[in-house]
Amino acid sequence: MYVRLAFGVAAHLQSDILLVDEVLAVGDAIFQKKCLGKMNEVAKSEGRTILLVSHNRDAIRNLCTRSILFEDGSIVADGPTDEVIHTYNESIRQIEVGHNTAINNEAYRRGNGSIRFTKISVTDIKGDQKYLYSIGEKIYLQVSYQVYKPMLGLKLFVGLRSGTTRELVTSTDQLLSDSHLVPGNVGKIKLELTTKDLLPGEYPIYWHLSEINNVTTNIDVLDDLTPPLVLRSPGVKTQIGYFRMPSRIISKEINVKT
């Protein structure tokens, strides 16, 4: 409540510079959208300067023309927003999720221990691990898992969230096994994703393993463990929504005299 009140007061003051520090990290999706709308209005309609301090790259990309990347208190990049975000993503693209990484940190996962992800990687067609892609590129998700309790079948669910609101915007589910699984069973899968119908933006990845008929109890869920996918398209500055809607013009009239 304090943050909402503070933002409301600050946004309506006639100051030359508006400093906003992680205001989008609190509140619900409606409040976050209102914040983005007001900051966009202040910057573009009123011509005032906004200094936005945030880890939300999607919001930064939509609001800011220039960005600065800090690491341990030092500036490591300063320039056009797309270039700075690219620098940041390149710095984290080598992250591999395996036995000795945060995949074993319970803060990033939910479930009852019946099944566990043991390794996750996100790669391009060459097998190079990265999280920054151009629209149209294929993305390969590789998952390894181990069974710890008897289960009847196994499904993999992968979803992409909105980088701004965290809502699930698209997903896919795959049947890995319809047989009885016993403790000690292990497996791995490589999944191909296509990005041709998505719009540029930041998409955190949601990972979900579950028993076929018990998708809420016998599960392993990972949130925010891997860096988000960042999709870019040269020349595209703004977009609305998350997908391209297939369409074609069947009739057009220009400068027609009546």
Please provide the distance, in angstroms rounded to a whole number, between the alpha carbons at the two ends of the chain.
Answer: 58
Boundary (domain end) residue, out of 63, 92, 121: 92
Asked whether residue 258 carries a pLDDT value surpassing 70, the answer given is: no
Entry pTM:
0.67
Across 52-63, average pLDDT: 78
Are 166 and 29 in contact by the 8 Å Cβ rule? The answer is yes
Which is more confidently placed, 257 or 60?
60
**In the 3-class helix/strand/coil scheme, how is 9-68 assigned residue by residue?**
HHHHCCCCEEEEECHHHCCCHHHHHHHHHHHHHHHHHCCCEEEEECCCHHHHHHHCCEEE
Give residue-wise pLDDT tens across range 197-222.
888 888 889 999 999 988 888 889 98
Boundary (domain end) residue, out of 40, 70, 92: 92
**Do 138 and 79 fall within a single domain?**
no
Q: For residue 226, give both structure tokens.
A: 């891997």
- Domain total in the chain: 2
208 burial level (CB within 10 Å; 0-12, 13-18, 19+): buried
**Do 107 and 160 fall within a single domain?**
yes
Greatest C-alpha distance within the chain: 77
Write out the residue range of the structural domain in which residue 86 sits: 2-92
Does residue 246 form part of some domain?
no
Q: Is 257 left (phi over 0), alpha (psi -120 to 50) or beta?
A: beta
**Do 139 and 31 fall within a single domain?**
no
Give residue-wise pLDDT tens across range 99-129.
455 566 666 678 888 999 999 999 999 998 8
Q: Give the separation between CA 258 and CA 256, rounded to whole angstroms.
A: 6
